[in-house]
């Protein structure tokens, strides 16, 4: 695992926030839940974890700005640094008692994501990366999968829910990817999808209609694990466009070709 001062700050904040999440997950039926929109929920757990993360990160790095899932944009006095924080990625899984969700924290410096931490508190898996330092899961160095043939690849995706996204377009893309690969998975956490690509568990992944806090940490994880990342149009505007497509060099290129052809 990376032992830099920055990574220590990020890991400490994430571990503090995870304690309440694990407790709340054990009492999921008693949580106060309100609707934030169709198919998109927010709970007491979200707000509590976000508050813990913000307080810990502000104390350690005063002046840094924030892009938070619940509180939105918080301007900092240090304009060159921004935290992208998702206190509970996979909220719908969490609220349904499905043990697949994560805390995600990424740091942007002068427009570039330079560090990221994704923590799965149920499996106790910490995915961490810092620019130039590699990517790790707990104490194991990560590398993206080496498969070169799409027919052998397992690809992750995100399915647009009610009121968001182009469903016919997604179904066309899904059909094309299904026809070319060993399988498609939809697990409900963009942060963990990216972490799993970095870990070689998935060979590739694509999704649209994401926020920067969903993907910031995962982007650097994939890159530091030797992967290739673009938006779904093949550009490098993932945070702005809110889309991502990744894999090793070959799989990323082939997946992009399939998605482009299906979307045409």
Known binding-site positions: 69, 86, 88-89, 214
3-state secondary structure at position 184? strand
Q: How far is it, in rounded angstroms, from Cα 66 to Cα 236?
A: 22
Element spanning 40, H or E: strand 40-43
Annotated binding site for Mg(2+): 69, 86, 88-89, 214
The residue behind tokens 């910490």 is 126
Q: How far is it, in rounded angstroms, from Cα 87 to Cα 90?
A: 10
Q: Which tokens in the block code for residue 74?
A: 């918080």
Q: How far is it, in rounded angstroms, from Cα 67 to Cα 212?
A: 8
3-state secondary structure at position 41? strand
Is the Cα torsion angle 119, 123, 124, 126 positive or negative in sign?
negative
Q: Burial, 162: exposed, middle or buried (Cβ in 10 Å; 0-12, 13-18, 19+)?
A: exposed
Q: Burial, 212: exposed, middle or buried (Cβ in 10 Å; 0-12, 13-18, 19+)?
A: buried
């Amino acid at each position: 695992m990376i032992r830099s001062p920055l990574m220590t700050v990020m890991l400490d904040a994430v571990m503090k926030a995870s304690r309440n999440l694990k407790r709340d997950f054990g009492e999921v039926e008693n949580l106060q839940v309100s609707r934030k929109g169709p198919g998109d929920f927010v709970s007491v757990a979200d707000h509590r974890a976000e508050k813990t993360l913000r307080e810990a990160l502000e104390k350690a790095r005063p002046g840094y700005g924030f892009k938070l899932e619940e509180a939105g944009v918080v301007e900092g006095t240090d304009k060159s640094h921004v935290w992208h924080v998702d206190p509970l990625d996979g909220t719908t899984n969490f609220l349904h008692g499905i043990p697949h969700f994560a805390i995600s924290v990424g740091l942007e410096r002068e427009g570039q994501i330079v560090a990221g931490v994704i923590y799965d508190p149920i499996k106790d898996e910490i995915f961490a990366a810092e620019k130039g330092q590699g990517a790790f899961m707990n104490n194991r160095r990560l590398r993206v999968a080496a498969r070169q043939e799409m027919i052998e690849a397992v690809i992750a995706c995100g399915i647009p829910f009610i009121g968001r996204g182009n469903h016919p377009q997604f179904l066309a893309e899904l059909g094309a990817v299904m026809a070319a690969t060993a399988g498609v998975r939809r697990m409900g956490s963009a942060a963990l999808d990216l972490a799993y690509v970095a870990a070689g568990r998935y060979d590739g992944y694509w999704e649209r209609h994401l926020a920067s806090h969903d993907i910031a940490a995962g982007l650097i994880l994939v890159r530091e694990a030797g992967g290739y990342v673009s938006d779904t149009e093949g550009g490098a505007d993932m945070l702005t466009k809110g889309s991502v497509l990744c894999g090793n060099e070959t799989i990323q290129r082939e997946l992009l070709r399939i998605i482009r052809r299906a979307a045409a």
